[in-house]
Amino acid sequence: MKLVNINFLSIAVFLLIGITATAQKSERQYNNWSIEAQTGYHIPLAPNKFVELGDYDGAFKQFQAGVRYMITEKYGVRAHYSFLNFENPSEIVEGGVKFNRVAIEGVANVWKVTNVEGGFKENIGLLFHLGAGVTFANPSGSKGTDHIGNIIVGFTPQFRITDNFALFADVSYIANIKQHYSFGGELYDINYEHENGGLVNLSLGLSVSFGDREEHADWYYDED
């Protein structure tokens, strides 16, 4: 089942990228592609059964890498992989769980969608993202893998360093659908009944755009 899920999502990613890559080849004035990497702080919110959630938040216990393709100046798609390690640093309480997530999201440039005016847009951007994914969770006390559905929503402020490099922050909420193990690694129910939960992810990262045009879609404004 795990292999089937991975293969299905991989095929979906490549099909989506292939479709968007051919959607806009005529007379484009900007670069469409960018890659990004980020790390930061995660805060589990729910469920809190068996654990004190404050023991399982953590800085720099996560990593995310993704690729983004802007179909137009305003809208694009992004695929990413994330790793999160929920680990209790206490010597008294052991346990935890490792999350490996793959996801696909739609992306919108907030300034352009809402027609915000101002010269600050040349160097400061704001993206909104919304999508879905699958998490493969490996609890410390089990050899099995928990398959968790995800809904992801967040905002990404950006600061342009050069035409090709940008620093960004990201604030995301990830809803966990059908989570069977706690953040401490315990099984919620012997009958394998699930819980729904979620977490907040705060991160900083670097985005690199590439292509044969001067600017990326995030920073391109048509001068009428």
Digit-coded pLDDT (tens) for 99-139: 999 999 999 999 999 999 888 998 999 999 999 999 999 99
For the domain made up of 2-22+30-219, give the CATH fold. Answer: Porin (2.40.160)
Q: Smallest Cα–Cα separation from 155: which of 122, 118, 196, 114?
A: 114
Count other C-beta atoms under 10 Å from residue 78's C-beta: 20
* Average pLDDT, integer, range 153-158: 98
Asked whether residue 175 carries a pLDDT value surpassing 60, the answer given is yes
Can you give the residue ranges of every domain in the chain? 2-22+30-219
- In terms of average pLDDT, the best of 9-18, 46-55, 83-92, 163-172 is 163-172
pTM of the predicted structure, to 2 decimals: 0.84
Digit-coded pLDDT (tens) for 141-152: 777 899 999 999
- Give CA–CA dist 147/114, Å, rounded: 37
Higher pLDDT, residue 89 or 125: 125
